[in-house]
A and B are shown apart, each in its own frame.
Chain A
């Protein structure tokens, strides 16, 4: 199984400041057939289901604000919130959809400092 490791477990960022979340996979999730990284990011606000933010490591889902960006390739990935807003308080999960079993990182809780 591909193990997904997120860091940090939690972080507190001032409004308007940058938040950076890291995700590492135990093996590459780059598919050579299409040159896409099969790495997904979700946002889960308290009491709500997850919401898709980014797929293929860096493609924003429809309606996602451009302050959210994803980067990385192979085994190391980053989710960046360029200017944290109050509504971004949530837990963020990475997930690999390269192979079954589909696996998630443990989550990173983002709070306001």
Chain B
């Protein structure tokens, strides 16, 4: 059974940093693209970033480019999202998702809430 468990969310001040983690199990992690998607409270889904299986290819939404960094450790079956220079508008639930082709979320974690506020 595919399981994805996000962690690392919390309350941070504007301009601060957080690192989110997503632990994966139940599948061969290195064989899959992974996505980060966020959802502001009461709002819709917004794609943030994606990474291919060996970590050699990454892409980002313009809204986070230069501030967020996606990475993975295939030995630890873990996906990361380093978030720097956080803004109030980054407040959201952040979901990680397994992706067969790199473009859609086959399986999703339960999400971790990031709140950026002073």
Binding site for B on A (CB under 8 A): 38, 40, 42, 44, 48-52, 55, 61, 93, 95, 97-98, 100-107
Contacts and interface: CB of A to CB of B under 8 A. Distances in A.
A52 B62 contact: no
B59 interface: yes
Q: Give 4 nearest A-B pairs by CB, closest first.
A: A97-B103, A49-B108, A102-B47, A104-B45
A104 B103 CA distance: 11
Q: Is the interface of B mostly helix, strand, loop or mixed?
A: loop
Interface of B: 35, 37, 44-47, 50, 59, 61-62, 95, 101-111
A101 B61 contact: yes
A55 to B, nearest CB: 6
B61, B102, B103 — most chain A CB neighbours (10 Å)? B103
Given A49-B95, A50-B95, A97 B45 contact: no
Nearest to A102: B47
B44 A49 contact: no
A48 B37 CA distance: 14
29 contacts: A40-B103, A42-B105, A48-B110, A49-B95, A49-B108, A49-B110, A50-B45, A50-B108, A52-B104, A52-B106, A52-B107, A93-B44, A95-B104, A97-B101, A97-B102, A98-B103, A100-B50, A100-B59, A101-B47, A102-B47, A102-B50, A102-B103, A103-B47, A104-B45, A104-B46, A105-B44, A106-B44, A107-B44, A107-B45
Contacts of A107: 44-45
A50 B44 CA distance: 11
